[in-house]
Structure 1
Amino acid sequence: MFYEIDNFPFLQEILKEVDLIAAEFKAQQSSPLLKDFISNDFPEGCSHIDYYAKEQEITPTNLGFDFRNEAWGAFPLYKNGFEIKWYNVNRVFPTALKNILKVPNLYFSSFIKLAAKKGIKSHKHLERHLAFHLCLENLDGHSEIYCGNEKRILKNRGDWAIFDTSVSHSSFNFSNTNRINIAIDFPYNFNKLKK
């Protein structure tokens, strides 16, 4: 199930900053910090992703692959209860950090890469949270996110999807380029939401 952004004024604020967040990411793309993320050679410091995956019971079995393979990658910006110390998030991504910290009960946030012509098998997370995915780059083609019986298309910078992580969801990047999103995971009172 997908939700509309008008339910979330704090996500609307992030959407307004998409060009600045994308520029921060692009400025770091060739840096030693992000070079490994882009080339799929993840640094050991990415254990924040491992902890998130373990807490949500996202395993290679239910994803259909090891999440550090060539199809998918995540570069952490924030993990509740587990401070990122191997790089200075505020110095490297100040606009991204300032905006994600506006999210009430922020649980996790990262840049997520889905490689061209690759997909993620249907899976669901242990806890019922919302995920906000915001596309940071224009794609040469399009990408789809599926949740339940619905789908959202992401192909341009600023395209987004908000979905319930406890419902089976998957994604496929039909484009000829990597899809880069900023992803934000947070618990929410689902009784307040409208579709």
Structure 2
Amino acid sequence: MVDTAAKLLSEARELIVQGGYNGFSYADLSARLGIRKASIHHHFPSKAGLVVAVVEQARSAIRAQIGLVQNENSIAWDQLLAYIGYWERCIKEQTAPFCLAAVLAAELPNLPEEVATSVRGHFVDLSTWLERVLSLGVSQGSIRLQDTPAIEAQTFIATVYGAMLAARAWDDPDRFTAIVDSFTNRIRVRRQ
């Protein structure tokens, strides 16, 4: 039973990344997994509940990854590179060519409120973490900011997610790296 729920979350995630909230149905999941729609409803009575579970699973994974790279002796620049490196690998290997929350954010005005709340939560989590990392980088002397850490964190998010979109639009994973490198070159303090 738990295995079925995990498979449903995994397949739903893949379908959302490919086509968004409205790009899949329980019939699609049923066909992909070879189970009845009633079984899906048993685990996730509503599509909104399923999508919230997918987003919350992704948020939990991101928080766990952040926990691995962040401690009191953390080097801010290394944290940023770890985050960027994660997406570079995902895009090049096509394991997660686009952020689930980014796909859903594009549909935000038409999402059920509980899904929208979860998606917004992802961006709050990410922005809060990046703000801390950028501030840490300034205090460590490895990062210089042209604006407040909050604005620069949002600029970083827009750059990374825009780079994902460009890589997808041009079917060129290297575009992601080129775009993100442009941002990181702007904020990195080079040692003489």
| TM, length-normalised to structure 2 | 0.25
The TM-score, its normalising length taken from structure 1, stands at: 0.25
The structure with the larger Rg is 2
